[in-house]
């Protein structure tokens, strides 16, 4: 994707006066959450964090916010049997998230959108989001962007699978040079993998799995061979549109119901 660098919304590409002006105009920060873990022979280890960064940037354009440097790593012990994986403990990850976003709250950021593309981060992000709301007074919405992608594109792409078409499209929309569709090999059996993936995504019963090989012995499954840059860019736009629309409404509802930051500061007795 070609991006107009003059209009960057990545926090670390902006200057201090630009950040200050942004917080004065619309104090929205977006934290991309993902991971660095093996994604088979055809996708980069940073697939999940590339996905959340590039979607976050388009959402930031739509909602007038900035994308924080949240760090590439996440919580992914399940993928540790493979060399291409680096995991943080849940405690470390929570602290990184709280201290990163909490720093911006001190400078005036009020709205926090946590945009996540890695299922292993979900419990830690829920705890961090609570802390950022209750202790730092931020109005917080978390979106599981990988599930938004599955809702919009799952039917067409064989569902959300580890290393499959949806994940290939997300990287193609950002860094097509990192996608190696010519190296696709050893996909795990999809029917077995789907059965296990479904089990860990049910609302009522939640088994804990030791490692990814229970789902897919070769580390990945799906059918990414037909993914194209054009389709990736379309998916990126559609996901960002959906997230921006829903989150704009959610922040409006939260402001109305909770009175925003001032209300939580009153409740906790903190000085404004
Ligand atoms: Zn992934």
> Does 22 have pLDDT greater than 60?
yes
pLDDT tens by residue, 72-120:
999 999 999 999 999 999 999 999 999 999 999 999 999 999 999 999 9
Kindly give the distance from the C-alpha atom of residue 84 to the centroid of ligand 1, in angstroms, as a whole number: 12
Q: What is the pTM of this model?
A: 0.93
Q: What residues pack around ion ligand 1 (CB closer than 5 A)?
A: 47-48, 167
Question: What is the H or E stretch that residue 143 is in?
Answer: strand 139-144
> Does 271 have pLDDT greater than 70?
no
pLDDT tens by residue, 137-188:
999 999 999 999 999 999 999 999 999 999 999 999 999 999 999 999 999 9
Binned at pLDDT 50, 70 and 90, residue 206 comes out as confident
Q: What is the pLDDT of residue 260?
A: 59
Q: What is the pLDDT of residue 258?
A: 84
Contacts of 180 (CB under 8 A, 6+ apart): 41, 42, 43
Please state the rounded mean pLDDT for residues 14-40: 97
Within 10 A of 65 (CB to CB), how many other CB atoms are there?
Answer: 25
Kindly give the distance from the C-alpha atom of residue 255 to the centroid of ligand 1, in angstroms, as a whole number: 33
Pick the residue with more confidence: 202 or 13? 13
Within 10 A of 90 (CB to CB), how many other CB atoms are there?
Answer: 18
Q: What is the pLDDT of residue 272?
A: 46
Pick the residue with more confidence: 36 or 209? 36
Kindly give the distance from the C-alpha atom of residue 222 to the centroid of ligand 1, in angstroms, as a whole number: 12
- 81 in helix, strand or coil? coil
């Amino acid at each position: 994707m070609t991006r107009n660098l003059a209009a960057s919304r990545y926090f670390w590409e902006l200057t201090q006066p630009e950040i200050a002006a942004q917080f004065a105009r619309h104090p929205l920060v977006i934290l991309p959450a993902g991971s660095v873990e093996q994604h088979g022979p055809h996708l980069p280890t940073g697939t999940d964090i590339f996905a959340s960064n590039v979607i976050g940037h388009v959402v930031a354009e739509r909602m007038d916010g900035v994308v924080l440097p949240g760090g590439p790593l996440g919580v992914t012990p399940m993928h540790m049997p493979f060399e291409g994986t680096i995991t943080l403990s849940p405690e470390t990850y929570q602290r990184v998230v709280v201290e990163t976003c909490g720093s911006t709250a001190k400078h005036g950021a009020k709205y926090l959108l946590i945009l996540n593309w890695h299922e292993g981060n979900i419990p830690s992000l829920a705890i961090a989001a609570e802390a950022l709301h209750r202790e730092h007074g931020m109005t917080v919405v978390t979106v599981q962007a990988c599930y938004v992608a599955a809702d919009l594109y799952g039917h067409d792409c064989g569902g959300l699978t580890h290393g499959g078409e949806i994940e290939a499209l997300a990287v193609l929309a950002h860094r097509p040079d990192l996608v190696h569709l010519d190296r696709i090999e050893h996909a795990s059996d999809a029917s077995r993998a789907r059965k296990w993936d479904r089990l860990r995504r049910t609302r009522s019963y939640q088994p804990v799995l030791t490692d990814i090989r229970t789902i897919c012995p070769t580390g990945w499954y799906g059918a990414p061979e037909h993914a194209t840059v054009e389709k990736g860019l379309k998916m990126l736009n559609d996901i960002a549109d959906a997230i921006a629309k829903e989150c704009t409404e959610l922040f409006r509802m939260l402001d109305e119901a909770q009175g925003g930051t001032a209300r939580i500061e009153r409740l906790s007795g903190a000085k404004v």
